[in-house]
Structure 1
């Protein structure tokens, strides 16, 4: 018989109900067809324009020049400390509960803030009144999700999660290595009055990596987070809504057997989406967060041998046990200046308090959409963004103090959106981001380096983004993106290309419905190599193999060259069967890097390592799985 329709088709799109200039949206149904994304909306982020990967396969990326630690992750307005499980694992949120994921690379609405880079904002699926569920059994993990009504349909309950048995696989393939992860999601919602719904949403995850020898495990990395969100949503009028929420958070990371960090948080937020009589929307919100931070770095209180202490060390202040308080608010509106011109002004205020330090962030935002012809729209987005100090990648529980002030950025972009024949949509965008007082140890010191780990830098990123798509759920679908950019950092008196700058980043994905339940797809990923220093052998070694290092070659700016570019091909094959009236079953083979491609990163420059690039890989992940749902 004919193949069943996919459940709740998902789309990768650059449009929305009220499109925000520059936003890219990943919706559930189409993302599951993207080769190499393992059916995960968050993993498909890397193919969007403006996104620059650090290393292939690892789920950390720069967005328009901003490092991973400056990219904020949210789910239903709840901050998520990180998106992905250790190694090459899936995201920490089951894809079945994710309705869509929006990537705001810059100049985003005032309702998003407290990060100086991009914003990744996920929205969960609304409670559905009918029983439904889905599950998967893959080589690395097993997962499932089910949702159903109760109390005559006034209430809806959902539970889901995933568990990895990589520990068993590693015990067979790599004895001595223990890697494990799990995550969970649970939600109960109840309509207390017409238009009013009370909900409790809980989710969390854990990742564990250890060495095992003679039956004894030594922890290398152990991170856990939990969130409990109690919210009340009330819809009123024509398109207006009010939400009030309380959120409890627990973030904890252990490194080694004697070092750990813990952050417990309590947050409250109130948001209002109101439409005036003429249809003009006004969005406003208030929120406050208290973070209790405690650290155990394994240091005792005894003075070091010789009785000499390093009073200049920044680490005691950086990792002091303390409470951080953040209070903020925003207001924004979409104003129809003319039938073709819509302008969105916004303002965000955030007050930060950490130890005895206080900082105020005033972040204005402005975006506009001008329809110049049918299917042709010019867009612009500009704004300031501010953030507390951060690390290169987010680590649950580790939160630097406010000692050296806020990080800030100015984000600006302008472009055009096109609706082309054959249901093809396209966009072209020019952007410029300027960064001030940034904590970017990787961009300054390089991969594997520790130079400038606590230093602050000025920076800039300028580029052009191109994208085009045709829905992947069509018989022939595709998505293409290309980013041409240059990212720099100024550290001290040196301004050079950042160590993670990639001039060219391109993605091309194609899917084809072969009929009779068969579908095939492929994705090509290309990016230029990282910069590598060229060192004058007559001079002392510089200590860093990247042009962005804080110790430039003597006599001026360092000379540098590009490492070889990287190209990989991902493949996805699927056979789908229908089961009963609404059920479906699929056998899926999804392979990341079928070409077994290797890539290079800059090497360490010292007396023993003469700036030779290091080879990585091939990082190839074949995922064979059985998926089903009803």
Structure 2
């Protein structure tokens, strides 16, 4: 199990494995191949060849016992440099100053509609099914596209187990089971199912005099079934079925101090169900071929009182083929094709675009009822060259056809890595990336069908150094990302092909930039003390002609995470996580206007964000204990978030006429008890 972090052009491999007891001399050698080079992992005493690049290693125990993550591997990404702190419970991914929708989340190379459940209590893929995670904050290779931010690609386990095993996991939020087994030594099958039950008792926590009448949820469930078959030594077949359903619903009685028109139900339901197939074949001579397709369904329904009501259905077909050709020991060629088709249906009743206020009262209402088939195709070619033992170059080009806007985009990308010595390496990268505008920005009375694809150019320069005597690995990365053709709201009008003046709503007049540095200092694995320090110093800005640069919505100049864990012996482990980050900027409301026809006040915002929430800080601790028996094991943990009860503002609320405001605070102390057992 590993987490591959793409720092400045090349993967740093975080390999998750279980270390034997201190002093145990038994060794088991395993060689893994990343996108760019081979890494040798030795279970037990770890020996590194002199010419190898510095390798960062995380044990499975280090990652699964991070305080505040509930033992969820995918939630560990939030503790790495390059990621901003997401608002409490939002589950969004803000990577190197990009909007959440501009980053790509994938399962085995195919789009994954959702990564985290509501509230970010857990991810939608069971940790026990994950082999490794590729986290690439920038400069990802031409194999991937349709994104200008970062990339997360989840890979499921491939090894065939020798026997059947399983486990159950229960905490105060949800419960789940997992199993895996051998299929006649030529394959395996594994599965997982999980369901939350916080909805069963949350409604009893709401006071009778609260403006919230009934809480019908949040509730979620997910499931995964994976089968691997190896009919021959050169062939591998994999089948994956996965699904998720998340829903939350609040019923308001109305609030005289707030928006008087705001009554009724607030609810959202997100779901997906997908089927994947993979076939890999290795020819004589090392040439390999990977064929895969995914089909599935994605749905989203929501309602906000009488102002918003939407239904969205998306039937997805994704396909790729990749051919890897090892020409020589110094040259490898990778080429392929990928396809993404979507047959969507959308019906909505909501305020139209361009009405940026804190309340929906008085907004222009737009209605759509539309369906459409859109698709995008891409061809890519990449070469990996080693002119010398110390220098590695990766160059590639990707050509995308964006079916929604009917346009072609070319994406050249170059990466380089130089091994100064056995402890030090330098890396650099530059590349072009585009993403298609969202459906909302393109269709019906909501958007502008003439939009272009927003574009970004990524630049990265970094250094990595291993200090063996100090037990430390250090990585320092500098990045710059320039943005153009950024989609911006517009109140202008244009003449359409029918000779009619219509509202533009959106245009591509925006520009932007994100830049900064990322520092990762990690203690070498294999010691009783483990942990790391991750720090990101960055700035993310947007602007357009006539408007000076202003902070992006999720701009956080400082993000620091400090993790420390200690093995106390006899199965006990204690860990702590401290987080410190800048608050998000926001547009302040400077005045309001009373609309007599609607009997409500409409706020007037400043032109650009001029306010910023206070500094966020929080301490989490976790205590684990594991008991091993002859045929089974049992473990429990106590995880306490926000130990010293920090009152962290997450937003700003206003009274009915916007004359007074106050902070909306995040969650208080959150203790959790978890029980696990398996065989």
TM range (shorter): 0.7 to 0.9
How far apart are 1:606 and its partner, in Å?
10
Cα gap change, 1:386 to 1:29, in 2 (>3 Å): farther
Aligned: 1:616 with 2:638:
no
Extract unaligned runs of 5+ from structure 1. Answer: 1-7, 300-312, 394-398, 442-451, 553-557
- Compare 184-193 and 401-410 and name the one that shifted more: 401-410
| Structure 2 unaligned residues grouped into runs of 5+ | 14-32, 38-53, 207-212, 254-263, 351-363, 490-503, 595-600
Q: Does 1:166 align with 2:198?
A: yes
Task: Indicate which of 420, 425, 429 corresponds to 1:372.
Answer: 420
Q: Look up the SS of the partner of 2:200 in the other structure.
A: helix
Could you tell me how far apart the structure 1 residues matched to 2:589 and 2:366 are?
Answer: 32
Q: How does 1:64-463 map to 2 (within 5 A)?
A: 64-130=96-162, 131-150=164-183, 152-174=184-206, 176-177=214-215, 178-211=217-250, 220-237=267-284, 239-256=286-303, 259-278=310-329, 280-298=331-349, 320-354=370-404, 357-390=405-438, 403-421=450-468, 422-439=470-487, 454=506, 456=508, 457-463=510-516
- Secondary structure of the corresponding residue to residue 461 of structure 1: strand
Is the counterpart of residue 629 in structure 1 residue 678 in structure 2? yes
Matching of residues 523-562 of structure 1 within 5 Å: 523-531=577-585, 551-552=607-608, 560=610, 562=612
Given that 1:28 and 1:95 are in contact with CA atoms closer than 8 Å, whether structure 2 keeps it comes out as no
Shift of 1:156: 1.5
Q: What is the rounded CA distance, in whole Å, between the counterparts of 1:10 and 1:430 in structure 2? A: 21
Aligned mates of 1:263, 1:475 — CA distance in 2 = 49
8 Å Cα contact 1:250/1:264 also seen in 2:
yes
CA offset at residue 26 of structure 1?
A: 7.7
2:70 aligns to what SS in structure 1?
coil
1:481–1:506 contact (8 Å) kept in structure 2? yes
Residues 28 and 100 of structure 1 are in contact (CA less than 8 Å); yes or no, is this contact kept in structure 2?
A: no
Count of equivalent residues: 578
Q: What residue is the counterpart of 2:630 in the other structure?
A: 580
Distance 1:254 1:538, change over 3 A: closer
Report the TM-score, using the length of structure 1 for normalisation: 0.83
> Tell me, what secondary structure is at the counterpart of 2:84?
strand
CA deviation digits over 1:283-311, x for unaligned, max 9?
22212222101012159xxxxxxxxxxxx
Runs of 4+, deviation exceeding 4 Å: 8-14, 17-29, 313-317, 399-402, 452-456, 532-545, 604-607, 610-613
Offset at residue 420 of structure 1 (A): 1.1
Contact 1:25–1:100 (8 Å) recurs in 2 = no
Deviations 1:32-77 (A, max 9, x none): 0211111112111111111112324532231111011111101111
Q: Distance in 2 between matches of 1:161 and 1:90?
A: 13
1:487 aligns to 2:540 (yes or no): yes
Q: Is the 8 A contact 1:246 1:266 kept in 2?
A: yes
Matched with 2:554 is 500
Matches of 1:213 and 1:385, distance apart in 2: 44
Match of 2:81 among 49, 58, 72: 49
Q: CA distance change for structure 1 residues 100 and 440 in 2, over 3 Å: closer, same or farther?
A: farther
CA apart distance, 1:9? 9.0
